[in-house]
Amino acid sequence: MIRTRALRKTFRTRDKGLFGPRTVKTAVDGLDLEIPPGRVTGLLGLNGAGKTSTIKILATLLHPTSGTVTLDGLDVVEHARDARRRINLIAGGERMVYGKLTGAENLRYFGHLYDVPNPVLRPRIGELLELVGLTDAADTPVERYSRGMTQRLSIARGLINDPAYLLLDEPTLGLDAPIARDLRRVVASLAAEGRGVLLTSHYLTEVEELCEHVYVISGGRHLAAGSPAELKAATGSHRSVRVTVTNPSPRLESAVADFAGRLGVAAQLEATGEGALLVTVRHPEDVAGPLAGAIVAAGGSIGGLEVTEASLEDAVLALTDSAPAPARPRSAVAA
């Protein structure tokens, strides 16, 4: 398991050009995370929340200012070389392979960097190219690959050292939907093999599909953790029932208010400008049928009905909107 305790990272910056005052900015502020084997764990937050800094610390690309990171009990700062043999990083939108080399040559090159023995490396290259669907493009220079093909090769590169843990920072960024779907299947299969996967993504439907457990952070601080369903329930992110009433009667408003009152929720009524009324009720259970029945009993006619499931995006926005403002950068002299 990868485990962080009180993880903190600060940077010294200049806010007003080369000769401006130096300040200390906190990117990661006391994070406790656990990434176990055999599971895809999500790390979510708005831009600037500290996700990429956290992943770079876990990948040994940044040193934490304080706190600890252990990988199966091994301190990754004190034993960075050993830790790197058991982890790998894939970042979407970044060039992580060489365009002049072929797909197979890239994998061979990175395999040698990890000291993978040739008898192991040769069959592994073929297996990884098959896994990501690039067998037919093995001998094609990467500069002739599409973006989706390049990202699939990056996945294979990230597996060349057979890592126990894979860190994925926006792996499907900018990819077409079919390619992104194929990559999600690969990620799910990696967790099923027993690898621990940490995923950051702005595509929250992707996170809902893949992640059993999610951490939400803001300003480098922990806000909440749990399964996507638990986060939605904890923030009151419920499904929404939206009914179009074509001939609203005088009794409709009071009937809807009574119905919502019995459920302990609020109802929204909105005129459409075409003589119709939109009635919206948010509730954790499916109340479409009872709501429609209450409207008809009050003399209204149903012109349309739509049920929208609660989303992880609703939950994350609710959490980040209510989060305290991050601490202002402080003077480097005071630090």
User: How far, in Å, CA of 236 to CA of 240, rounded?
Assistant: 11
Residue among 310, 306, 286, 58 nearest 204 (CA): 310
Residue 70 lies in a domain: yes
Residue 330 lies in a domain: no
As given in the structure block, the two tokens for residue 136 are 């037919």
User: How far, in Å, CA of 72 to CA of 30, rounded?
Assistant: 20
* Whether residue 169 is found in the same domain as residue 302: no
The last residue of one of the domains, among 203, 234, 265, is: 234
* Whether residue 82 is found in the same domain as residue 10: yes
Residue 80 lies in a domain: yes
Neighbouring C-beta atoms of residue 177, cutoff 10 Å: 8
For residue 138, pLDDT beyond 90: yes
* Whether residue 14 is found in the same domain as residue 73: yes
pLDDT band of residue 322 (cuts 50, 70, 90) is low
* Whether residue 71 is found in the same domain as residue 170: yes
Kindly report the CATH number assigned to the domain that includes residue 194. Answer: 3.40.50.300
* Whether residue 222 is found in the same domain as residue 246: no
* Whether residue 178 is found in the same domain as residue 265: no
For residue 332, pLDDT beyond 60: no
Find out whether 267 and 277 touch, Cβ atoms under 8 Å: no
Phi, psi of 37 (to 5 degrees): -65, 155
Give residue 334's pLDDT.
42
What domain count does the chain have?
2
Residue 315 lies in a domain: no
Q: Is 113 helix (H, G, I), strand (E, B) or coil?
A: helix
Under DSSP, the state recorded for 76 is T
Q: What is the pLDDT of residues 224-248, one digit of tens each?
A: 999 998 888 777 656 677 778 887 7
Tell me the residue type at 271. A
Q: Tokens 């990272």 label which residue?
A: 9
Helices (H), 162-218: 177-192, 204-210
pLDDT greater at residue 203 or residue 34: 34
* Whether residue 168 is found in the same domain as residue 304: no
* Whether residue 190 is found in the same domain as residue 294: no
* Whether residue 70 is found in the same domain as residue 183: yes
Kindly report the CATH number assigned to the domain that includes residue 249. Answer: 3.30.70.260
Give residue 229's pLDDT.
86
Tell me the residue type at 221. R
Phi, psi of 77 (to 5 degrees): -80, -45
Tell me the residue type at 75. D
Residue 134 lies in a domain: no
For residue 198, pLDDT beyond 90: yes
Find out whether 129 and 156 touch, Cβ atoms under 8 Å: yes
> Cα 110 from chain centroid?
27
Residue 197 lies in a domain: yes
Residue among 226, 296, 175, 257 nearest 41 (CA): 226
As given in the structure block, the two tokens for residue 32 are 């406790």
R_g of the chain computed on alpha carbons: 25
Give residue 94's pLDDT.
67
Range of weakest confidence among 116-125, 213-222, 310-319: 310-319
pLDDT band of residue 162 (cuts 50, 70, 90) is very high
User: How far, in Å, CA of 194 to CA of 50, rounded?
Assistant: 27
pLDDT band of residue 335 (cuts 50, 70, 90) is very low
* Whether residue 19 is found in the same domain as residue 82: yes
Give residue 301's pLDDT.
84
pLDDT greater at residue 216 or residue 285: 216
The last residue of one of the domains, among 207, 234, 261, is: 234
Residue 331 lies in a domain: no
Q: What is the DSSP string of 257-320?
A: HHHHHHHT--EEEEE-SSS-EEEEEEESS--HHHHHHHHHHTT--EEEEEEE---HHHHHHHHH
* Whether residue 82 is found in the same domain as residue 13: yes
Q: What is the pLDDT of residues 79-132, one digit of tens each?
A: 999 999 999 999 876 678 999 999 999 999 999 999 999 999 999 999 999 988
Domain hosting 280: range is 239-309
Q: Across all residues in the chain, what is the average pLDDT?
A: 86
Residue 319 lies in a domain: no
Cα 334 to Cα 26, 28, 65, 173, 221: the distances in Å are 14, 19, 16, 39, 22
Cα 332 to Cα 5, 11, 17, 41, 220: the distances in Å are 25, 10, 15, 35, 19
pLDDT band of residue 172 (cuts 50, 70, 90) is confident
Give residue 93's pLDDT.
67
